């Protein structure tokens, strides 16, 4: 038996291909939306992977350091290091800010990393160019996506830094590229005010009789000194020794240090389930709307194509064609249209849309497979209206009268 | 008249019921023998199309009897379960316009019917080509319908009506869009094919050019058929 759908498509291939391309661009946008969601999840996981930590110790009852602000003393790590099962513990600060460079400015997440070397929690695990930070101050390693170049000098708040190394796929959960600087510098950038503000604060402190008491020498100096130093970090990253259960180690830290500790799976839930939850819902809604629009377009196109063949369908029915042959004709055309659209959509999403999107777009094979199945199902469902119209055609229409 | 072909006895068709009922066919009696071509003539609204639809198993008559070959297909109710199979295998149609499927080439337009009946593609195409030879359109076998002239399209449509070797062909105004020469050529082909394949052919027509060619004519008026002898003029 010849394929009626195939012959019809070949006969009017231009109409099918151009309609399929239009549909394909819509499918491409749908796939890109799914890719953006996957990219956001991937960014969140990459952030956790690259931190090199098994546990995140943060301010009690907060969802820090990524989803909420967290502030803990910078000497807590010493006590944590002594807890059984802890292999390494390192302070870390995170600060999202705008950095000026030659061609405009770029939003980055500045990470303050503790002195050490590659392998220390918080450090970039690998570089694609340059070297790691070797000095205590004013050196930085930047993600290549920031557009910063080796040797370039950038200003972060009060200080200038030289880019000494470049890394790749070191991004925040928002997809912002990261810039790594020494911890002490980061603490200053995060908490130290500008000179005018420091001067104003000193004057206000000196004018406060509670801090500037006659007969208590040294009190004012001590208060001012405490105001101009910063003993805080956002979190302590902990690596657990092999053979230890991270949850048990986390429980020990919670009990002895009275801090909140998250394991990798808990932190992943916070990032994916809370930090990007709203964005994920928005993307899901877009996916639903785009799927509905695609369904409506396919249904309309197939319905129009079927109406254009009413006379042929009447003749086919009159000469004894079974309903299932007519149903197959319409459904196969609908699926063919969907497949053309999917191929065009996949190509446009991969080659056209993903590279130019400012967000990381991750097109996973499984998503493509699900997308393909969804497209086929949408096409099958969308053809129902046209099939109903075709089955209602009276074969007597071919005779006329 | 005797023999097989198609026989219709006291066929009636009523549309609607009660006060609004319309008797489109009141008493139709016809017999067309194998190899015979008869004309069915009548003014607009006389019931020609309704009769054609009843004979084509497209609509159900209200009463009467239809015998196709040796089989009673209707006797105050359909005696055949699968009307589509009946139309496909035992009734051929030739329409006023050829109504060829535009996305199939000429061969597949004709071979589609035997394929639908379960005949292998190669055999179905062989049948089509044989008919094209008889109808002198063999050279257009690979063409698309849009590439054919009106006369060629109608000959392909006749081939489609004949390809399943049905005992009866219903031709609805088959010469309406054609000029005199081509109209007579079509009638000649129908007569040749009727004789060659032992097919009974009923030609519904208004066409004054071809009416004199029938040996027998059925007139239909207000749903009643009247038989009369035709001129049977030579159409050469």
Q: Mind listing the pLDDT tens digit for each residue in B172-186?
A: 888 877 788 878 888
- The percent of residues above 70 in pLDDT, for chain A, comes to 100
Residue A342 has pLDDT above 70, yes or no: yes
Q: In A, residues 319-348, which contact B (CB 8 Å cutoff)?
A: 319-322, 325
A309 CB-near residues (< 8 Å, 6+ apart): A8
Residue B74 has pLDDT above 90, yes or no: yes
Relative orientation angle of helices B121-135 and B150-162, to the nearest 10 degrees: 130
Residue B176 in contact with partner chain A when CB distance is under 8 A:
no
Contacts of residue B47 in chain A, CB cutoff 8 Å? Answer: none
pLDDT score for B2: 41
pLDDT score for A41: 87
Residue B147 has pLDDT above 90, yes or no: yes
pLDDT one-digit tens code per residue, A15-54: 888 988 998 998 999 889 889 888 888 888 889 998 999 9
pLDDT one-digit tens code per residue, A226-248: 887 788 999 999 999 999 999 99
Residue B15 has pLDDT above 70, yes or no: yes
Residue B236 has pLDDT above 60, yes or no: no
Query: Are the CB atoms for A160 and A154 separated by under 8 Å?
Result: yes
Residue A1 has pLDDT above 90, yes or no: no
Q: If you ran DSSP here, which 8-state letter would residue A192 be given?
A: P
Measured in angstroms, the CA of B7 and the nearest CA of chain A are apart by 21
Q: Do residue B116 and residue A312 have CB atoms under 8 angstroms apart?
A: no
Averaged pLDDT of chain B: 89
Q: Do residue B93 and residue A399 have CB atoms under 8 angstroms apart?
A: yes
CA–CA distance, A156 with B61 (Å, rounded to integer) = 93
pLDDT score for A115: 87
ipTM of the complex: 0.83
Q: If you ran DSSP here, which 8-state letter would residue B34 be given?
A: T
Contacts of residue B115 in chain A, CB cutoff 8 Å? Answer: 1-2
Q: In B, residues 113-152, which contact A (CB 8 Å cutoff)?
A: 113, 115-117, 121, 144
Q: Do residue B116 and residue A315 have CB atoms under 8 angstroms apart?
A: no
pLDDT score for B235: 61
Give the residue from chain B lying closest to A13, CA to CA: B103
- The token pair at B157 is 């449509």
Q: Do residue A398 and residue B95 have CB atoms under 8 angstroms apart?
A: yes
Q: Quick one: average pLDDT of A117-125? A: 89
CA–CA distance, B86 with B67 (Å, rounded to integer) = 12
Q: Do residue A1 and residue B103 have CB atoms under 8 angstroms apart?
A: no
pLDDT one-digit tens code per residue, B98-107: 889 999 999 9
Q: What ranges do the domains of chain B cover?
A: 34-57+81-229
Give the residue from chain A lying closest to B88, CA to CA: A320
Which member of A1, A312, A399 has the closest CB to residue B58? A399
Give the residue from chain A lying closest to B120, CA to CA: A1
Backbone angles phi, psi at A394, to 5 degrees: -85, 125
B189 CB-near residues (< 8 Å, 6+ apart): B135, B155, B158
Closest CA to B160 of B75, B81, B92, B87: B92
Alpha-carbon torsion angle A157, A159, A163, A166, nearest 10: -40
Q: Quick one: average pLDDT of A121-125? A: 93
CA–CA distance, A122 with A62 (Å, rounded to integer) = 20
CA–CA distance, B111 with B123 (Å, rounded to integer) = 9
Residue A10 in contact with partner chain B when CB distance is under 8 A:
yes
Confidence of residue B1 (pLDDT cuts 50, 70, 90): very low
Residue A396 in contact with partner chain B when CB distance is under 8 A:
yes
- The token pair at A385 is 């209206």
CATH architecture of B34-57+81-229: 3-Layer(aba) Sandwich (3.40)
Residue A135, CA atoms < 13 Å, CB-side half-sphere: 11
Give the residue from chain A lying closest to B82, CA to CA: A320
The DSSP code sequence of A51-112 is: HT-SEEEESTT--TTTSS---EETTHHHHHHTSTTEEEEEEEEEEEEEEEETTEEEEEEEEE
The count of other CB atoms within 10 Å of the CB of residue A13 is 12
Which member of A10, A312, A395 has the closest CB to residue B58? A395
More confident residue, B185 or A58: A58
Residue B101 in contact with partner chain A when CB distance is under 8 A:
yes
């Amino acid at each position: 038996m010849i394929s009626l759908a195939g012959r019809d498509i070949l006969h009017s291939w231009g109409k099918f291909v151009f309609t399929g391309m239009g549909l394909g661009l819509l499918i491409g946008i749908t796939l890109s939306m799914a890719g953006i969601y996957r990219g956001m999840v991937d960014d969140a996981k990459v952030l956790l992977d690259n931190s090199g930590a098994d546990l995140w110790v943060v301010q009690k009852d907060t969802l820090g350091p990524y989803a909420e602000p967290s502030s803990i003393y910078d000497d807590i790590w010493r006590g944590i290091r002594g807890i059984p099962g802890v292999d390494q513990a390192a302070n870390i600060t995170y600060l999202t800010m705008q950095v000026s460079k030659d061609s405009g400015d770029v939003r980055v997440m500045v990470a303050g990393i503790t002195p050490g070397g590659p392998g220390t929690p918080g450090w970039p695990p690998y570089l694609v160019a340059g070297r790691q930070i070797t000095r205590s101050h004013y050196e930085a390693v930047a993600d290549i996506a920031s557009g910063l170049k080796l040797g370039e000098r950038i200003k972060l708040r009060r200080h200038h830094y030289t880019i000494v190394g470049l890394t790749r796929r070191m991004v925040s959960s928002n997809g912002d590229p990261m810039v790594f600087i020494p911890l002490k510098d980061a603490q200053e950038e995060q908490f130290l005010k500008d000179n005018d503000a420091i001067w104003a604060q000193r004057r206000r402190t000196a004018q406060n009789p509670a801090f500037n008491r006659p007969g208590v020498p040294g009190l004012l100096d001590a208060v001012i000194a405490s105001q101009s130093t910063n003993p805080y970090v956002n979190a302590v990253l902990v690596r657990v020794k092999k053979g230890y259960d991270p949850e048990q180690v986390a429980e020990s830290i919670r009990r002895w240090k009275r801090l909140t500790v998250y394991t990798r799976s808990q932190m992943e839930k916070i990032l994916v389930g809370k930090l990007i939850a709203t964005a994920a819902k928005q993307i899901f809604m877009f996916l639903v709307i785009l799927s509905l629009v695609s369904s409506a377009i396919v249904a309309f196109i197939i319905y129009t194509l079927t109406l254009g063949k009413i006379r042929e369908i009447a003749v086919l029915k009159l000469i004894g064609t079974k309903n299932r042959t007519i149903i197959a004709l319409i459904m196969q055309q609908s699926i063919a249209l969907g497949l053309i659209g999917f191929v065009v959509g996949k190509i446009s999403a991969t080659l056209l849309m993903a590279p130019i999107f400012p967000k990381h777009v991750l097109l996973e094979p499984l998503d493509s497979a699900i997308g393909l199945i969804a497209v086929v199902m949408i096409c099958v469902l969308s053809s129902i209206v046209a099939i109903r119209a075709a089955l209602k055609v009276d074969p007597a229409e071919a005779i006329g009268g | 008249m005797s023999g097989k072909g198609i026989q219709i006895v006291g066929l009636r068709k009523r549309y609607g019921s009660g006060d609004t009922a319309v008797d489109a066919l009141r008493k139709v009696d016809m017999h067309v023998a194998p190899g015979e071509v008869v004309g069915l003539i009548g003014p607009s609204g006389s019931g020609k199309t309704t009769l054609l639809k009843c004979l084509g198993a497209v609509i159900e008559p209200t009463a009467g009897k239809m015998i196709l070959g040796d089989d009673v297909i209707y006797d105050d109710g359909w005696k055949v379960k699968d009307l589509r199979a009946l139309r496909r295998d035992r009734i051929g149609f030739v329409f006023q316009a050829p109504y060829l499927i535009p996305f199939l080439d000429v061969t597949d337009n004709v071979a589609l019917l035997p394929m639908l009946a379960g005949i292998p593609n190669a055999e179905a195409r062989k049948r089509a080509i044989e008919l094209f030879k008889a109808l002198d359109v063999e050279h257009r076998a690979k063409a698309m319908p849009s590439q054919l002239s009106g006369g060629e399209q109608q000959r392909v449509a006749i081939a489609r009506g004949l390809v399943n070797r049905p005992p009866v062909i219903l031709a609805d105004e088959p010469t309406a869009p054609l000029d005199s020469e081509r109209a007579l050529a079509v009638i000649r082909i129908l007569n040749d094919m009727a004789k060659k394949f032992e097919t009974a052919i009923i030609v519904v027509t208004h066409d004054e050019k071809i009416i004199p060619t029938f040996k027998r004519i059925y007139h239909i008026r207000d749903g009643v058929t009247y038989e009369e002898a035709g001129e049977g003029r030579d159409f050469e």
